[in-house]
Amino acid sequence: MRRFLIAIDFDGTITQHDTLHLIVDRYGDRSVWDRLTPDVMAGRVSVEEAMQAEFATVRATPGQVLDLVRAEAGIRDGFVSFVEWARGAGHEVHVLSNGFRTVIEDTLSRAGLGDLAFCSHDAEFSEDGTRLIWADRGERCELCNRPCKRFDLAGLHTGLPVAYIGDGVSDRCVCGAADVVFARAELADWLQDAGRRFIAFESFDHVRDALTRIAEVAAR
């Protein structure tokens, strides 16, 4: 079987529900993102600018945020067994996220995957407001004109073919650097409209089965 670098988005991909949305819906003002969504989709406002604007309205303690995520985010079907299978098959697995380190660390640890490598931003939550802490993603990407996940992917330096798994706007640019793309939700709609190839999925069992076939064919 051919080995892959498997890069996985977190919010809405590993989790059943986007943790950023859950946090803003409970402790902030979701209408900020809703107002900015058309500009984000059109590229007039970056994802980072929109996130900063909406999280400026979030007032909660770290404990309140983690309790909310634990209760309502969920883990997508088959994720834990998928990671175990991938590691056993010799694939490398990394999480590339536009979300927050404190949330991701807690979620992965509670799933028994606290050693799974990830790249993300972070946030300092307080009842006085939330401060976002942006990861260093180098210069603006020459393709999407913002610091994006391509920088994180390139920094892994594995030399392996890439399978990317995602669902949203922040996955658009980086999935163009992948050899195989698994997509759902908004990312799948965008790729379909753009006429680009991808494999649709709703559970990680679907991804495992498809990637197994691809890896076996590639190794022949």
In the chain, domain spans: 5-218
- Asked if residue 128 lies in contact with residue 39, where contact means CB atoms within 8 angstroms, the answer is no
Q: pLDDT tens per residue, the chain (220 residues)?
A: 689 999 999 999 999 999 999 999 999 998 998 899 898 878 788 777 888 899 999 999 999 999 999 999 999 999 999 999 999 999 999 999 999 999 999 999 999 999 999 999 999 999 988 999 999 988 888 888 888 899 999 999 889 999 999 999 899 999 999 999 999 999 999 999 999 999 999 999 999 999 999 988 876 6
Rounded distance, CA 111 to CA 114, Å? 8
Tokens representing residue 194 in the block: 């753009």
Q: Print burial letters for 145-167: b (CB count within 10 Å at least 16), e (below 16).
A: eebbbbbbbeebeeebebbbbbb
Residues 6+ apart with CB under 8 A from 168: 9, 11, 12, 13, 18, 185, 186, 187
Q: Which fold is adopted by the domain 5-218?
A: Rossmann fold (3.40.50)
Q: Can you give the pLDDT at residue 219?
A: 66
